[in-house]
Amino acid sequence: MNIITSNKDKVLFTPGPLTTSCTVKQAMLTDLGSRDVAFIEIVRQIRQKLLEIGACSPNRYTAIPMQGSGTFGIEAVVSSTIPSDGKLLVIANGAYGERIAKIADVLNISCHVLRGPEDKTPDLDRVKKVLEANLGFTHVAVVHCETTTGIINPIQEIGEISNDFDCKFFVDAMSSFGAVTMNFHDCYIDYLVSSANKCIEGVPGFSFVVARTRYLRTNSRNMPEA
Ligand SMILES: Cc1ncc(COP(=O)(O)O)c(C=O)c1O
C-alpha cells in the first residue's frame, strides 16, 4: 500500500500526536546528516519560522529545538533557568500544571503550587496575594491551554502580574502555540515550551523552547545572574 500518495491514514483525534499531512510525511523521506549544509539550513529555517509563528522579534527571542518530548522541553527550562536560590510559583488547574511542579520537586527546586479548580481559570487575586505574601519568588509558570480540559489560561494577565513582582514568566504552550494567537511582548513571556506534534502538526520526537535571548546568557541554575 502506498501510504504516501493514498493519505488514507486513520485520522487521529488525540490532542497529539496527530494526523500528519502528505507533505509532512514526504519531507521525512530524505536522509540528512546532522553536519550536512542542507540539514543546518533546515534547522535555521525551523528556528526562524518558530519565531514567526510566535510573532516575536528575533532581536529579543530565540527558538531552540530540543531532542525530546514536550516534557523534556519543560524539564530543560525548569532545570536550567531557575538559579539554586530561585523560587518557582506554579499556577496549576490541571494535570500539566501539576507536572511542572513535579519536575521542580524532583529537581529540588523551591516551588509553591497555587492550585485551582480544573474547570476554571486561575483566580488572579489569589495569584497576586501569594506573590505579595511570599517574598522571594523568582519565576512563575503556567500552562496556556490545559490540554486535559481545554481551558485557556489568561497568560497576558498572569504575565503582567509576574512582571509586577519582578518574576520571570514561563509558559507551557504545548497545545496552543501555532493555533492560539499570543503576543510574547504583551504577555511578558520569558520562556515558552511547545512541541512539534501538536498545533504545528509535525511528527512527534522534538519540542522547542522560545526564550528571551538575554536570559539564556545569564540565567542558569548553577550560574549567578549577571
Ligand atoms: C499542556 C501540555 N504540557 C505538556 C505535555 C507533555 O508533552 P509530551 O507528551 O510531548 O511529553 C502535554 C502533552 O499533551 C501537554 O498537553
- Ligand 1 geometric centre to CA of 64 (Å): 17
pLDDT at 216 over 90: no
pLDDT at 15 over 90: no
Domain 3-218 has CATH 3.40.640.10: yes
Report, as an integer, the average pLDDT of 17-34. Answer: 91
Give the pLDDT score at 130.
97
217 or 77: which leads in pLDDT: 77
Q: Are 199 and 178 in contact (CB under 8 A)?
A: yes
Nearest of 27, 36, 167, 142 to residue 92 by alpha carbon: 142
The mean-pLDDT minimum among 94-103, 127-136, 176-185, 213-222 falls in 213-222
pTM of the model: 0.92
Enumerate residues lining ligand 1, CB below 6 A: 15-16, 69-71, 96, 143, 147, 172, 174-175, 195
Report, as an integer, the average pLDDT of 75-86. Answer: 95
What integer best gives the mean pLDDT of the chain? 92
Report, as an integer, the average pLDDT of 51-57. Answer: 94
User: Which residue out of 145, 147, 171 has the highest number of ligand 1 atoms within 8 Å of its CB and is therefore the one to mutate?
Assistant: 147
Give the pLDDT score at 226.
35
pLDDT at 74 over 80: yes
Instruction: Please give the number of the atom of ligand 1 that sits closest to the Cα of 144.
Output: 1
* Percentage of the chain exceeding pLDDT 70: 93
pLDDT digits (tens, 9 = 90+) for 89-137: 999 999 999 999 999 999 999 999 999 999 999 999 999 999 999 879 9
pLDDT at 224 over 70: no
* 87 residue type, one letter: K
Q: What b/e string do you get for 127-142 counting C-beta neighbours within 10 Å, with b at 16 or more?
A: beebbeeeeebbbbbb
The mean-pLDDT minimum among 18-22, 34-38, 56-60, 220-224 falls in 220-224
pLDDT tier at 6 (50, 70, 90 boundaries)? Answer: low
Report, as an integer, the average pLDDT of 185-194. Answer: 97
Residue-wise DSSP of 32-56: --TTSHHHHHHHHHHHHHHHHHTT-
